């Protein structure tokens, strides 16, 4: 996990290392076209493909997509089942393309709640791409930021109980190491499509210093141009991490 002082960009560092995206608007996209919500979710898969390609071309190291939140179980059962089926179909259809592009796939979240067949396919897909050293594509599935913090706290509590560490040793670094995605940089750029302007329980801890980018574009319409616009917007920002502009300028000299 990276800290703010480690992430201060020089003027040349225009590309975010880690991009996190809340892919919102699939259902509304479909409804506006008089189609069932399922059509929007299917159309969203194409946007994943295009955004992944742009990130690979631009040199982004990590792309994390919020595919299925821990709150999504509250949706109608028919839609939940469709989302799970679509996840399985997308894995089957896209994994060879992902592997061919030297992309490594990782699924983060509590996948134990998924059907066994989907769990098995996730393991197979991760194993197939494990040796790829290009873009790391992380799919957050049955994931929630509060769940992430809770499971980290439980893990540390068990270590204290087992005598492997003292309670006084728990600090930001130890908590960060116990969370999902602890082996990759924190998100530099947090994108949400669909017009809403909230985090929706996604990477809460990790996004403390992320640059937030909100767009009204619905996810199925978020293609190459929109992704490049978000990266350009990121490049134009001054990231201070709690410092003043004068401190930031002196640190880059």
| Separation between Cα atoms, residue 214 and residue 231, nearest integer Å | 12
Residue 37 confidence (pLDDT): 87
Structure confidence by residue, pLDDT tens digits, 94-140 = 999 999 999 999 999 999 999 999 999 999 999 999 999 999 999 99
Q: Please, are residues 148 and 205 in contact by the beta-carbon 8 Å criterion? A: yes
| Separation between Cα atoms, residue 43 and residue 6, nearest integer Å | 38
* Three-state secondary structure of the chain: CCCHHHCCCCCCCCCCCEEEEECCCHHHHHHHCCCCHHHHHHHHHHHHHHHHHHHHHHCCCEEEEEEEECCHHHCCHHHHHHHHHHHHHHHHHHHHHHHHCCCEEEEECCHHHCCHHHHHHHHHHHHHCCCCCCCEEEEEEEECHHHHHHHHHHHHHHHHHCCCCCHHHCCHHHHHHCCCCCCCCCCCEEEECCCCCCCCCCCCCCCCCCEEEECCCCHHHCCHHHHHHHHHHHHCCCCCCCCCHHHHHHHCC
Domains of the chain in start order, with CATH, are 15-144+187-235 (3.40.1180.10)
pLDDT above 70: residue 249: no
Backbone angles phi, psi at 65, to 5 degrees: -115, 135
Give the rounded percent of residues in the chain with a pLDDT score beyond 90.
78
**Reported confidence tier of residue 2, pLDDT bands at 50, 70, 90:** very low
pLDDT above 80: residue 189: yes
**Reported confidence tier of residue 252, pLDDT bands at 50, 70, 90:** low
Q: Which of 43, 16, 47, 11 is nearest to 27 (CA)?
A: 43
- More confident call, 111 vs 246: 111
pLDDT above 80: residue 70: yes
Residue 251 confidence (pLDDT): 58
Structure confidence by residue, pLDDT tens digits, 20-69 = 999 999 999 999 999 998 899 999 999 999 999 999 999 999 999 999 89
| Separation between Cα atoms, residue 26 and residue 103, nearest integer Å | 25
Structure confidence by residue, pLDDT tens digits, 136-188 = 999 999 999 999 999 999 999 999 999 999 999 999 999 999 999 999 999 99
**Residue 4 in tokens:** 């703010």
**Annotated active-site positions, please?**
24, 72
- More confident call, 70 vs 222: 222
pLDDT above 80: residue 10: no
């Amino acid at each position: 996990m990276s800290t703010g002082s480690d992430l201060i960009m020089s003027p040349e560092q225009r590309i975010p290392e880690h991009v996190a995206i809340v892919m919102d608007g699939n259902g509304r996209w479909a409804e506006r076209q008089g189609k069932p919500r399922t059509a929007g979710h299917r159309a969203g898969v194409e946007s994943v493909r295009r955004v992944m390609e742009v990130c690979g071309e631009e040199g982004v190291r990590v792309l994390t997509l919020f595919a299925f939140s821990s709150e999504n179980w509250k949706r109608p059962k028919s839609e939940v089942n469709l989302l799970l089926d679509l996840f399985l179909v997308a894995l089957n259809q896209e994994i060879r393309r992902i592997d061919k592009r030297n992309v490594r796939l990782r699924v983060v979240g509590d996948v134990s709640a998924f059907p066994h067949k989907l769990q098995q396919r996730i393991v197979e897909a991760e194993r197939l791409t494990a040796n790829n050293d290009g873009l790391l594509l992380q799919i957050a599935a049955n994931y929630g930021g509060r769940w992430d913090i809770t499971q980290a706290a439980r893990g540390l509590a068990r270590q204290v109980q087992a005598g492997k560490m003292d309670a006084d040793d728990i600090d930001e670094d130890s908590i960060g190491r116990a969370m999902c995605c602890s082996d990759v940089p924190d998100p530099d750029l947090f994108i949400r499509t669909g017009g809403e302007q909230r985090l929706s329980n996604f990477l809460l801890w990790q996004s403390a210093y992320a640059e937030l980018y909100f767009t009204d574009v619905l996810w199925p319409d978020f293609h190459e141009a929109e992704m490049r616009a978000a990266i350009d917007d990121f490049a134009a920002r001054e990231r201070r991490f709690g410092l003043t502009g004068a401190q930031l300028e002196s640190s880059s000299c």
